[in-house]
Structure 1
Amino acid sequence: MSKDTNDTIGLSRRKLLAGLGAVGVASAGAGLGTTAYFNDTEAFEGNTLTAGELDLKLDYRATYAGGLGRVDEINGWYSDEGPGEPFNVVEEEDGVYLIGEVPNIDEGEWPDVVQERDFCAPDVGLINGDQIPVFALDDVKPGDCGEVTISLHICDNPSWVWMNGEVTADDENTVSEPEAGADGEGNALGDDADGPISGEGELADAIDVTMWYDEDCDNVYEPGSESGGPLCVQIVLDASGSMTNGGRNQQAIDGAKTLAESILNDGPAGSRVGVTFFSADGYDESAQVIQTLTDDLSLVVGAIDTLPADGDSTAIGEGILAAQGDLEDCEEGESPTMVVLTDGGNNAGTDPTTAATTAKGEGTTIYALGVGGAQVSTLNAISSNPDEDYVFFASDDGALEQAFGLIGETLLGETIIFEGSLAGAMAELEGGLLLDGNRATEMTDPFEGGLTQCIGFEWCLPAEVGNEVQTDSVAFDLGFYAEQFRHNEQVGAPNGTAPNGTAPNGTAPNGTAPSEPGQ
């Protein structure tokens, strides 16, 4: 290109750049409102924060073993005019009276439904902020006993739970001539004297108290397997696809391993455990023994860890039959037992009631554990009798591991919290006694929501006490206090103790046992 040509065009590099700049400005101005640039918008909208719930609710069942033919007298104490919570007292068996029950269950007996209902539902009338007297007895004599089983329900959030209590009155009242002459009576007035006297009585020290974790909520302390021999247990687990809901499958795995560890580490020598899955994908007969009975914990744990939760059906009956086939190898002196977990209704294979009837007929004890969509009628049908001792239900998936723990402690024996005098029990509770949400583990655990757990409290005035407690009276309170677990792994209320008395949104029954024994 010649110099003339370049001049004709008349563009130098500087002019060219300037021109492009001018064009760019013109284009930008002309394109306003009609041309989109690359763009992006990010936003965090609709933000909400809602506080969770921590509500401790209670129910209870109380009985009094006070001798024959006293229903009218005792009913007077629990009338609108009496000192006790109004209740229609019933003599359930000879000399044993039902003196209180909350809630009143329309569709069955309290023990039959306490493990199966969602007691956090708003339409269930539980003790929630109320203070009521359970024991209000005016004529306690040596040989009398009373028992209350208190059910704890943690609604929503896992919580630490303390039990607390105190003696509120321990009075001598008057001293009669027989009492004055009794051995151990420290307030004698003389051989022929009767009259009022100040000072503490002997009743709180004379009454024996036992407190325990009542794993099956049946109002009875059970120290362990009736046979005392080795346990022979098949853990039968639902492997259907619905077990993948939330953390249900992992809770089942953790709970089953906790149960196996309890039996093989803490159970009677020679105990064995096996594992059966039902409804897993690819099983020709809908169920299979994954691990035959063994005392090798590592083999059992390894088998449980493979729980697949991938099946299309729920074949509970097939699982029971498969497990029973392995339990036929239980040796003489062993206790053949089956723990069956399901989260749904049977929809394939053998009818579970038929299968369970066969297994129970061959001497197998069956515990039924339900979660999610499990049908209570099916759990009742497959379990051993009575249902209240052998049916467990977790209304929250997070409570499954603790539910397995309840069964383990039922098999091995319920744990005593305290044994001693009433005075000693109240001294133990006065500063707050931390309760363990899962006795099957070595650690102290919080209580999970969605699972009923029970505490038994029994008192007895020994027959050999004699005259020294005549006319004495004692009054005492029991309470429970719950505190959230999250951000609170170092347990302890202010100053390291739980408050004594009424707990927020959850008060246990208080109790009074005035006595006027006679000869």
Structure 2
Amino acid sequence: MSKQDKLGLSRRRVLASMGAIGVASAGAGLGTTAYFSDEESFTGNTLTAGELDLKVDWQQTYNGPIPGSDGEVGDHAVNAYPDTAMDDQSYGDGLQDLDGVHYSGAGETEPVFDAAEIPACCDCEDDEYYVTYGDESYCIEPLSGEESVEDFYDYSNFAAQNGDITRADTSVIFLYENTANGELSLVVVNDDQEANGGGVASYTLEGAPNGSGFTGTGDWQEQDDGPDPYSEWTADWAWQEGYTDGGALGPLNDEFAIRLSAAFNGAAAEQSRREDDGIVEEVMILSGGSGQDSDEIVLESGLDESENNEVGPVTIHSSCGIDSGSELDVPAVFQSENYPDQEHLVEFTDVKPGDSGEITFSLHLCDNPGYVWMTAANFSQNGGTLTEPEIDAILDQAGNDGPTTVDEVEDSGHLAEKVEVTVWYDEDCNNVYDEDEVNEQDEVVEEGEEAIFEGTLQELMENTFELENDEDEGMVQLGADCYPARAGFCIGFEWEVPTSVGNIIQGDEAHFDLGFYTEQCRHNDDPGNSTAENGTPTPTPTGTPTPE
């Protein structure tokens, strides 16, 4: 018998036994060997509360005595916000503008943009320009070079010397800055030399500063200065395969706002000059860099021959953003050349029968969609000092049911019950209520703007907007649905003292507040009835017409 036989263990049994001992040892030792393991982590997590910021601007006019005119009466500007002609040394002209770009529905200048289009919500840097298209907005930088825009946009040689900028089957829009003199221009380039087929395109450029020039054919055309500070340029292009086309507009003022509208392919004007079957498929804006390394912002893609071939409006603003609420410099924002001492939005001290006033508010919801209400509060009135004509008018109106002697007269004020008020959606933001147009048969041939309220100032305040099933006294919801973020709209508020009123309002005063309130739309099943931490905010601004 071998030694192995005496032990009675084979090699296989020995190994198995050692394995068993090893497992037992590992179990007893707890840690002498490592388990399989893995780890996944997500660091730097952040929850940030969103924002809902309602910004309000306005243009106010008054049809009454014009300050400093020796008694002349007429419709004139009272105050506006923004009115950036105002600085520490002088007052604004009372007409709505943002850094020189006119938005007011009042005054002699016809604006290219209205107050709803004021870029109220943006936060671009000083060296950036604000672009909007549809519901989207962007901050862009110009492309730059040391050449003049005429040399940069060399019609005969642009594609060869600027191949990094052109894009096949694409209409490219960008700003160009001449670093030698700081002049800024707008450039449009259609297609690329390497693209298959040519194309057709039509552009309209509105808001160009008067005195600017345009090239689209190689000849620089200049616009003569005139009474209108804004110019409109149109360009219709048709190009063959192996070519590009486009144009340049400039120089632009330091402060400007431009609107571009474009049509391509089957919607463009120059169909008769079209020689190839190429189409423009995409429209983009370039930002910064030199072309090849520029950021590309695609505004529209998938353009084709039969449809989807109109683009616009695209707007480019040199300035954007306005203050609101507690950020406003009160009372300075209520003051102007005509009314340098005004401390409230509405503040007239010599209102007479026949006078009227109007305010168009434009509202801008920043960051998120929201419900919006107009609010009214703090209404009061008093009779002021009784005059003899007013006493006689009160006695005549009272008849047998009222006072019969001067000693019995108590005047708590009649102004608010006599002032006629209209509140409406001012769709064109022009400070005018457009009523229905009717023919001789009293048939409506053209619908006007939608009225929110028509009545007296007292009815407006005491029955405060009990409309649209809104049970919250003091608020009326403006529109039943959410307003989208960054979409502006205008509300008109007009008051008038009829000429038929007579002496009964002499010396009377009316005081009231107007304001606007917004709530988020998301997760809001009962808009207007929620209770915020600080409650419904006090409406601002305030108004106090006080005739004498």
Q: Which has the higher strand share?
A: 2
Which has the larger share of helix?
1
- Higher relative CO (Cα under 8 Å, sequence separation at least 6) belongs to 1
